[in-house]
Structure formats: structure tokens, C-alpha cells
A = this chain, B = another copy of it.
Amino acid sequence: MADNKKMVESITPMDTDFAKWYTDIVKKAELIEYSSVKGCMIIRPYGYAIWELIQKDLDRRFKETGHENVYMPMFIPESLLQKEKDHVEGFAPEVAWVTHGGQEELAERLCVRPTSETLFCEHYANIIQSYRDLPKLYNQWCSVVRWEKTTRPFLRSREFLWQEGHTAHATPEEAIAETERMLNVYADFCKETLCMPVVKGRKTDSDKFAGAEMTYAIEALMHDGKALQAGTSHYFGDGFARAFGITFADKDNKLSYVYQTSWGVTTRLIGGIIMTHGDDNGLVLPPAVAPIQVIIVPIAQHKPGVLEKANEIAEQLKKKFRVKLDDSDNTPGWKFAEYEMKGVPLRLEIGPKDIENNQCVLVRRDNREKYFVPFDNLESQIEEILKVYAENIYNKAYENMQKRTYDCKSIDEIKQVLAEKGEGFIKAMWCGDEACEDSVKEQTGVASRCIPFEQERISDKCVCCGKEAKHLLYWGIAY
């Protein structure tokens, strides 16, 4: 091998150190690189290509449900941020402040948007006059900044990419329906596109978004048993509308406040993909967001005809799949390891013997299953295998979630599960009292995740105070 040739570096096994395994993957699969700005990451081509595929799929779903994209300024004047009391309390402690423009000190500080409710509200107050202007169904793709103390690539960073939907409606019913609709869009996307099972539910009051009347969330369970909040959808009632004066004239020319929602998912989803599907050899990507779906590795590529055939197949498959042919002079073994690290769903091997037999070899990333496939059957076979692969990684993730979800009827049972089984989702009944929620957290270390839409009654009593239970609640340790 030449001097400067890269080696495929091994990664820390998951069971040895899960956090290290995670950062090894994000670095060595070339998803991100650190920058000199603490807590901000560089998203490299391979990582960004995953984000582009996520964007494209979600954007289609947003447009199909009637939403339009806009772009708001990245700065929020301090006085504007302060207009809604709960909202500013939630965000002011964690924003970055611009105090100077060029050589001059600004008359009023500007924060770099941590989220854009205030900007959308100001705009809506300007452009909404009549019931004819409703609903407004806007979304924006942008980056936001939150000055976090501890950061981890994709999971928690000072700057991150996201989309934020902001809608205004004539009635509470319509706004609540929108809040639920978008949570379902997120959940369907996670299942269909990311092969990631999630629990849909409502956050407890103590865990709501700053300024929201109700926050819905989807919660996923990672390989290590920790919970990941993968997306949220908020119902604001008319709280923001009252703070910002967003009114409309109804058909009888009577002025009313609008009812609003907001909803968002972030590059955190990429962290979710890694920790849902990855293994000790690296990433395992869902086909729908894999920048390369099929990697073609020629065997004995110096032999006559091999590269020609490999190129011919690559050209043919490119019409239907995202395909790469690696004809570099690295060894096939190196290439196998490299693209396993990068989570490419299918490897296509082709050598002199395969060509003689008019076939090639396909190897799945998820379980290394091998298929010998005749050339004339290749496209339909790949399509079929990718479908089975996607189902398989979803099912594996779903089974992992089921296996690590525990019914607990007492604080002691919670403690016992955590001691014996490690982390996971804890299902337990709750009286609805914030004191009990706090107490469970204090005694056991798990925090409430959500009140799932699919309610069960695993006991009649609150797991903490023993009084009449109101809700089944999911608990867990969260990223």
C-alpha cells in the first residue's frame, strides 16, 4: 500500500463505551468534523447528504399537507423576544447576543434566533387581517443557536440545522388538529423513511415548550436504552396572539385572536439513526436516506473485463439507485470495511468468476446475508432486497424497544428494573400531580418522557403517591 493511503480505523465497541462508539462513528464515517468554535460542528459531505435526503422527504410531506416555505431574519431584537413572558424565560438564558454591527455598538441587542415564534408572530400580526387569510401554514429550513454548556455532535450543539413550522388558525380545534397532524407526519416519516419506531405522546406540563399550552413529542429508544426526543409539535392556544396582537375579522366582522402551533425536527435525527441502527462495524443506514445505496466493489479489478463490466452495471443502476463504484487501488477488504463503516445498505461484488457466471454478489449491511444475482435480474432484486432490509432494521429496532420497555407498579419496581436491566422505557401510572413527577425523578433518576396517545391501564394507582391514577406515563433517561 502507498504511504499516504488511509486505513479503515476500528471503532470502540458499543458495549465497551457507548458514548465513545458514537463519537467514533460520527468522526470515522466522516459525518462531522469539529471546528474551532466550541459546540459548533462542520457537517461533512457524507453527513450533509443524509440531511439533504431527510429534508427532501420531509419537505414533500409538508407541501402535501399544504405548507409553504418562507425565510425569516436570523436576528431577533431583545424587545421582540421579550413580548411573550414564558417564551423569553425559557430562551433568554441560552441565546447568543449580537452587540456590535461593524464598528458601532447597536442601540438594541439582537439575539441569534434560538427559535422563531416571535418573528413569525410579528409577521402574522402584519399580514393577517381577515378570516380569508387563514390558515397560515408556514415552514422554514434554517439554522438556530442555543448556547448549550455541554455539547455532542448532532444530539446537542450550539448551532444546529432544523425546520420550524409555524401556523395560525381561526379556531382552537383547527390548531390542535394541525399540532396532531404534524406529529403524525413526523412519526410516519420516522417509521417509513428512517425505519425508526417512536412513541407518540404529550409532554407533562413541567416539560412543555416555553410558551406552549400543550407539547406533543415523538420519543425513540436508542441502543443503550436512553430515550431520544426526536421531534416536537406545540399548541399555543391564543397566548402568543394576545402578546403580539394577531387578530382577524371573522365573517361577521368581529375581531378574534388566532390560534397557533409550531413544530420542528433537527439534525438530531441523524444522531437518532446512528444510535437506532448502528453496530460495532459502524453506521447502518436506512435505504431512503443513504447517500450511497449500493457500493460496487470490483474483485481482481486489474483482470481484463472486470472494470468495464463494473462500470456498465454502475451506469445501469444509477438510473434507479444512488450508486458508487469504488475502483480505487485500495484492497477489496479495505473497501468492505470502509463502506460498512459508512453504513451503505448493499455491497455489490463483481469479479472474473462472477462475470463468467453472468452474475454478481450482493451483501447486505444489516446482517451480511449474501445473494448471487444474475445480471438480467439485478434491478428488481436490489429493489426487493432494499425493501426487506428496511423492514428488517425497523423490526430489529422495534423489538429492541419492546424488549426494553418495562411495566412498573411501584417506585421499587422502577429501581429494580434500572438495576437489573439497565436503561429503557419505564411505563408507570401517574396521578397527574407535578409533585409526584418530581419525586419519581428524584428517587429513581428517570424523567417523564410523554403521556402516550395509546393509553393502557397497568394499575389503578399512581406509582408514587398511590392515589387514583390519571395517565399512563413513559419514563426514561434522555439524551
Q: Quick check: is A73 within 8 A (CB to CB) of the other chain?
A: yes
| Complexed CA–CA distance, A365 and B143 (Å) | 37
Pick the residue among B33, B127, B147 that contacts A33 (CB under 8 A): B127
Knowing A69-B52, A94-B102, the reply to whether A74 touches B147 (Cβ < 8 A) is no
**A249 CB–B CB distance under 8 Å:** yes
Q: Is the CB of B37 within 8 A of A75?
A: yes
A36 an interface residue at 8 Å Cβ cutoff?
Answer: yes
User: Which of A73, A126, A142, A253 is the most central at the interface, judged by chain B CB atoms within 10 Å of its CB?
Assistant: A73
Dominant secondary structure at the A interface: mixed
Shortest Cβ distance from residue A476 to the other chain B in the assembled complex, whole angstroms = 27
| Proximity bits, A42-60, B CB within 8 Å = 1, else 0 | 1111001101100000000
Nearest Cβ on chain B to A231's Cβ, whole angstroms: 20
Report chain B residues within 8 Å CB of A382. none
Report the Cα distance A129→B7, complex, angstroms.
14
Residues of B near A89 (CB, < 8 A) are none
Of A75, A158, A159, chain B has the most CB atoms within 10 Å of the CB of A75
Which residue of A33, A71, A96 has the most chain B CB atoms within 10 A of its CB atom?
A71
Contacts of A253 in B (CB 8 A): 3-4
Interface residues of A in 62-99 (CB under 8 A from B): 68-77, 80, 93-99
By the criterion CB–CB under 8 Å, are B33 and A74 in contact?
no
Q: Using CB atoms, name the residue of chain B closest to A80.
A: B36
- Residues from chain B with a CB closer than 8 A to the CB of A70 are 42-45, 48
Question: How extensive is the interface on chain A, given as a class?
Answer: 35 or more
Q: Which residues of B contact A122 (CB under 8 A)?
A: 35-36
| Residue in B closest to A133 when the chains form the complex, CB atoms | B4
Contact A98 B101 (CB under 8 A): no
A37 B77 Cβ-Cβ under 8 A: yes
- Measured in the bound complex, the distance between the Cα atoms of B44 and A76 in whole Å is 18
Contact of A74 with B42 in the complex, beta carbons under 8 Å:
no
Residues of B within 8 A of A99 (CB): 97-100
Interface residues of A in 179-230 (CB under 8 A from B): none
Q: Per-residue CB proximity of A141-168 to B under 8 Å, as 1/0?
A: 0110101000000000011010000000
* Smallest beta-carbon distance A117→chain B, Å: 14
Q: How far is the CB of A105 from chain B (nearest CB, A)?
A: 9
- Structural contact, A42 and B68, CB atoms closer than 8 A: no
Q: Is the pair B98, A36 in contact by a Cβ cutoff of 8 Å? A: no
Select from chain B the residue with minimum beta-carbon distance to A92. Answer: B102
Q: Which residues of B contact A45 (CB under 8 A)?
A: 68-70, 138
Say yes or no: A41 contacts B73, CB within 8 Å: yes
Complex interface residues of chain A between 401 and 441 (CB less than 8 A to chain B):
none
Contact of A48 among B43, B71, B93, B143 (CB under 8 A): B71
Interface residues in A348-364 (C-beta closer than 8 Å to B): none
CB distance from A58 to the nearest CB of B (A): 14
A470 on interface, CB distance cutoff 8 Å: no
Residues of B near A41 (CB, < 8 A) are 73
B72 engages A42 (CB within 8 Å): yes
Q: Give the chain B neighbours of A102 by CB distance below 8 A.
A: 93-96, 147
Q: Can you list 26 A-B contacts with CB-CB less than 8 angstroms, sorted by A residue number?
A: A3-B249, A35-B73, A35-B119, A35-B122, A36-B80, A37-B73, A37-B110, A40-B75, A42-B70, A42-B72, A42-B123, A43-B71, A45-B70, A48-B68, A48-B69, A49-B68, A51-B71, A74-B143, A74-B145, A75-B96, A93-B103, A95-B101, A95-B102, A97-B99, A98-B99, A98-B112
Beyond A3-B253, A99-B99, 14 extra complex contacts between A and B, CB < 8 Å: A4-B130, A4-B131, A35-B119, A40-B74, A42-B73, A42-B119, A43-B71, A93-B102, A95-B102, A96-B101, A96-B110, A98-B98, A98-B112, A142-B143
Residues of A within 8 A of B (CB): 3-5, 33, 35-37, 40-45, 48-49, 51-52, 68-77, 80, 93-103, 110, 112, 119, 122-123, 126-127, 129-132, 138, 142-143, 145, 147, 158-159, 161, 249, 253
